[in-house]
Amino acid sequence: MKIAFVVHDYRRREGHSRYVVELATRFAKNHEVHVFANEIEPEGSEHIQFHHVPAFRKTALASILSFLAMATFRVRGEWDIIHNQGLCGWRGNVYTAHICNRAWHRALRSTLGRLTVREWVSGITLSNLEHAFYRWAKKCHVIAVSHRIEDDIRRCYHSRLPISVIPHGVDLKAFHPAAESDERHQVRAATGIEEGDFAFLFVGDMRKGGRQCIQALVKVPAAKLIFVSRSAPGPYRLLAAERGVEERVRFLDANPHIEKYYAAADALLLPTHYDSFGMVVTEAMASGLPVIVSREAGASELIDPGRNGLLLEDFKDVEELSGKMRLLSEDRNLVRQLGAAARRTTEAYSWDEIAKRTMQVYEQVLSQCLRANMGARPVRSTSIDVGS
């Protein structure tokens, strides 16, 4: 099979990029795999052919629009599968929906009260582009990373495209229980976390619940809180000082070796207003951590409340969050039980399993294309344009 992946960047560090790296390296063992991307970190991908896609990256919106145009122009010829990550190109027959921009911006506006001009322009532009694609595209198959995303695409864009729900995978070797490891003790010592302290961890965009975590910490006096984020910490430091918990909060920069912070923590917090999936949730679960997650995160679909994690009914409710934080900080046996069950849950979502399910979608798309075009004759499908 000749497969083309189209993604803004090819690297192992986050989200869309890691998704493509994990799938492409597995498929390259038995298929001809090409990757079209702007930034490329090819280490560990010897059997993959790379193609640079130029893009103007001064702003996020300019990056998306310029890459969309150039990738559509560059990805030509005969392919069995062209697999785009969201709207990375108009030319393709498999699209993975990692986000629904209309739902994301509605949730962001509802949470923050108002958007910046840049956020408003970006939201309108990307929502309209997604609407044009999901409403009118033909002969394409969508992979949604959660049922939440599937529902958002149906509701926001009235899409009639076939959609398969396949969540993000998790690296079960990189993320594993490490409660008594040397790394745990080293990281806790380096961040000023005593061995007897209960450490909550928050990873990612601070807009996804950082304020609620700080406010809830006030009512959990025995705990400390570690933030690992690219977000500017200034407003959150100020809030922690105002609430009198600045001595119990650590603000750390994003780190490619995030697994060491899971090893150092006792539980993960993600009281987000919206997350299409939330890979940090499954990473923490694979690391044997109990998680407290809002129902607004797609990964919450993997949580059986009270068995392998805890769910927040209202992400804005600080009282609910602090109550669940106290429950964990005061019951180490519950922490161990939830963490062990969380690890078992993630064992069904290895990247090998996700690759297998994705390949089944490819085979379904090819089969349908063959039946539509040439009956049972074994011909290679060509790329499929939106609206064709």
pLDDT at 385: 41
CA distance 337 to 346: 15
Bridge-based pairing state of the strands 9-10 and 94-97:
unpaired
Percent of the chain at pLDDT above 70? 96
CATH homologous superfamily of 2-169+350-374: Glycogen Phosphorylase B; (3.40.50.2000)
> Is the whole-model pTM more than 0.85?
yes
Average pLDDT over residues 53-80: 93
CB atoms within 10 A of CB 190: 12
Please, which pLDDT band fits residue 374 given cuts at 50, 70 and 90?
low
- Tens digits of per-residue pLDDT, 132-150? 999 888 889 999 999 999 9
- Tens digits of per-residue pLDDT, 97-128? 999 999 998 998 888 778 888 888 999 999 99
Average pLDDT over residues 224-233: 96
pLDDT at 234: 96
Multiple choice CATH, 182-346, 1.20.1260.10, 3.40.50.1000, 3.90.1010.10, 3.40.50.2000: 3.40.50.2000
CA distance 124 to 117: 11
CATH topology match: 2-169+350-374 vs 182-346: yes
- Tens digits of per-residue pLDDT, 236-277? 999 999 999 999 999 999 888 899 999 999 999 999 999 999
Record the tokens describing residue 305, joined without a space. Answer: 């409340």
User: Average per-residue pLDDT in the chain?
Assistant: 91
pLDDT at 113: 79
CA distance 131 to 124: 10
Q: Is the Cβ–Cβ distance between 169 and 347 less than 8 Å?
A: no
pLDDT at 324: 98
Average pLDDT over residues 196-216: 96
Rounded to the nearest 10 degrees, how much is the dihedral formed by the CA atoms of 264, 268, 269, 275?
120
Q: Is the Cβ–Cβ distance between 270 and 297 less than 8 Å?
A: yes
Whether 338 shows a pLDDT value over 90: the answer reads: yes
Element housing 141 (H / E): strand 141-144
Please, which pLDDT band fits residue 50 given cuts at 50, 70 and 90?
very high
Average pLDDT over residues 82-88: 94
pLDDT at 381: 38
> Nearest to residue 12, comparing CAs of 25, 1, 27?
25
CA distance 294 to 4: 35
Domain ranges of the chain: 2-169+350-374, 182-346
